[in-house]
Amino acid sequence: MSIDLLGLTPDAARDALQEWLTTRGEPAYRLRQLFPRLWQRPVARWSDATDLPAGLRGALDEAFPLRRLELRTHQVSSDGTEKFLWMLDDGEAIESVLIPEGKRRTLCISSQAGCALGCVFCATGRMGFRRNLSAGEIAGQVRELVIRDPSLKPTNIVFMGMGEPLLNWEAVDTTLTALNRPEGFGIGARHITLSTVGILPQLAKFAQRREQFRLAVSLHAPTPALRRALMPIEKKYALPELMSALQQFRRRVTLEYVLIAGKNDSLEAADQLAKLAQPLEALVNLLPLHPGGAPDLTPSARAQMLAFERRLKEKGVEAVLRRSRGLDISAACGQLRVEVVGSGRGRRKVRPEEHAHIE
């Protein structure tokens, strides 16, 4: 029976390889040759590791096949943003987006195929929940880029692609380790951000990790009533409970807020948001609504977004108005997958209240 080393933590993968090599009677230095080919200097298949004997490569391909993501579509925006649509073994599809900015290369990765949470401004939410990704499939989005071109290796990772990371906590937990550890991809914890709507039991588990991973919370509304209209998860984990949990978090929190015309972009909403952000000393990321994510909603006018940002700053809140990237490609989360693969096949409808129980 074969083992997916890429779905394990580096320590577990090393142990599995060591045991296998010892059983075969291989010399001790083989592990030092093999192990870096998983994450540090990844190969597409063991047969590409030409520094190894051919017989050993063949045995490795049988015992530890390296699972791949198949690139279905690759789009490049005029602003340098690159979007990748990956096909999985079972025909599902996921997206990741590479955003270059100076020396920084931020990769936005997916943790689920689809999403059950149904946020009204998100194309992935309209798709419905398909399945959780394995740790190998999540980290594989990074690995495929490094195999494609080592210069594309991300400097920063954000779990802001398809899916809710904390509803796939076990796989995400393993992936965080593979991304961060020096014998994995070696990306600093402060350069890895997990974005969540606020699944409280798993949020507590994330907080228990010693590494200084960043936390971003998809807020998008400053009151429970408005948040419930935009994000059904509010029915399960209410805003007051979420804000209380965030006050126990040891690290600085970023609040994400997509500005939607006529919905959540009034100056009154800015004042209410400031009251939530002030006790946390949180950074507020103001995000223009990407029109591809929700065709029935309207992005806020530029002047209104600037006024909203200015109001927060007047209240002593650190706020940054981001600019939309990839407007000339299908860069809204889930948009490319819906356009290329479609949204109806095998769609699984799951009530947010039901899905939020998964741990």
Active-site amino acid positions? 95, 333
End-to-end, the C-alpha distance of the chain in Å comes to 28
CB contact at 8 A, 322 and 259? no
Torsion of Cα atoms, 119 then 123 then 129 then 135, to 10°:
-100
Q: Could you tell me the two tokens for 141?
A: 């989005």
3-state secondary structure 265-302: CCHHHHHHHHHHHHHHCCEEEEEECCCCCCCCCCECCH
Distances (CA, A) of 152 to 144, 146, 147, 333, 346: 10, 6, 9, 21, 34
- The span from the CA of 133 to the CA of 146, in Å, is 20
- The span from the CA of 102 to the CA of 104, in Å, is 5
Q: Count Cβ atoms below 10 Å from residue 77 Cβ, excluding itself.
A: 17
- The span from the CA of 24 to the CA of 342, in Å, is 47
**In one letter, which amino acid is 97?**
V
- The span from the CA of 327 to the CA of 277, in Å, is 29
Sheet containing 318-321, strands listed edge to edge, beginning at the edge strand earlier in sequence? 70-76, 82-87, 93-101, 104-108, 156-159, 192-196, 214-218, 253-259, 283-288, 318-321
